[in-house]
């Protein structure tokens, strides 16, 4: 019987193929998972922060910058008003709307400030002469805020609803200006969200005023 001898060149080929497969697997795992220390694109809570930051990238114009600069202090004042409702409001709906305002507008402030930073623009514009706020429509004066702070119960509920209707209408007007004149897709999209969300809250606030 003739003995069979394995061709000597096949074993190196097998080793080369195995090495190629191993390298491919390593490359695949690196692309998919990275190392354990890679936290790019994620915030400390595990959420994808790049998703919220990305819409602010790209082209923008003066209207986008003005919108963000005006909306930041406008939202900040809304948060101050909403924070008062916890200990002073007696109406459940007023408290619910205040909680919604705090949740939505706090997140929007962070986004707006992030855009301004990426656009290399100041967070706030200079105040206009004779005004004690940043010029945003519907902003309350210091006297208005002090009056609201001094109220409780039904008197607070009514004053809060009246003031927030004016405040929201101011924000809606600013957002509509951004929809007409803005260029940045993220800013224009946020403006649309503000128009929709705050218009709904204005309707709720007016309903509260009708029954108080």
Mean pLDDT, to the nearest integer, of 167-182?
A: 98
- Grouping H, G, I as helix, E, B as strand and the rest as coil, residue 117 is helix
Count CB atoms within 10 A of the CB of residue 16: 10
Q: How far apart are CA 127 and CA 12, in angstroms?
A: 77
Residue 22 pLDDT greater than 50, yes or no:
no
Q: How far apart are CA 133 and CA 22, in angstroms?
A: 64
Q: What is the pLDDT of residues 111-120, one digit of tens each?
A: 999 999 999 9
Q: Would you list the DSSP string of 62-88?
A: HHHHHHHHHHHHHHHHHHHHHHHHHHH
48 DSSP β-pair partners: 42
Burial class (CB in 10 A: 0-12, 13-18, 19+), 21: exposed
Q: How far apart are CA 202 and CA 166, in angstroms?
A: 9
Q: With cut-offs at 50, 70 and 90, classify the pLDDT of residue 57.
A: low
Domain residue spans in the chain?
A: 60-211
pTM (predicted TM-score): 0.70
Q: Give the per-residue pLDDT at 121.
A: 95
For domain 60-211, the question of CATH label 1.20.1260.10 is answered with yes
Q: With cut-offs at 50, 70 and 90, classify the pLDDT of residue 131.
A: very low
Q: What is the pLDDT of residues 188-204, one digit of tens each?
A: 999 999 999 999 999 99
- Direct distance between the N- and C-terminal alpha carbons of the chain, in angstroms, rounded to an integer: 108
């Amino acid at each position: 019987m003739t003995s069979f001898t394995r061709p000597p060149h096949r074993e190196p080929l097998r080793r080369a193929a195995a090495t190629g497969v191993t390298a491919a697997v390593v490359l695949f795992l690196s692309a998919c998972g990275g190392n354990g220390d890679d936290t790019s694109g994620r915030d400390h809570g595990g959420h994808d922060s790049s998703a919220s930051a990305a819409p602010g990238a790209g082209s923008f114009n003066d209207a986008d910058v003005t919108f963000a600069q005006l909306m930041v202090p406008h939202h900040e004042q809304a948060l101050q008003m909403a924070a008062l409702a916890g200990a002073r409001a007696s109406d459940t709906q007023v408290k619910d709307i205040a909680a919604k305002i705090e949740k939505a507008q706090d997140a929007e402030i962070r986004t707006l400030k992030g855009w301004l930073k990426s656009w290399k623009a100041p967070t706030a514009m200079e105040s206009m002469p004779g005004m004690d706020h940043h010029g945003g429509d519907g902003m309350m004066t210091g006297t208005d805020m002090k009056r609201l702070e001094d109220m409780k119960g039904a008197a607070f509920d009514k004053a809060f609803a009246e003031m927030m209707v004016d405040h929201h209408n101011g924000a809606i007007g600013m957002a509509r200006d951004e929809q007409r004149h803005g260029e940045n897709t993220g800013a224009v999209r946020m403006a649309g969200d503000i128009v929709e969300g705050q218009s709904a809250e204005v309707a709720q606030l007016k309903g509260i005023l009708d029954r108080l």
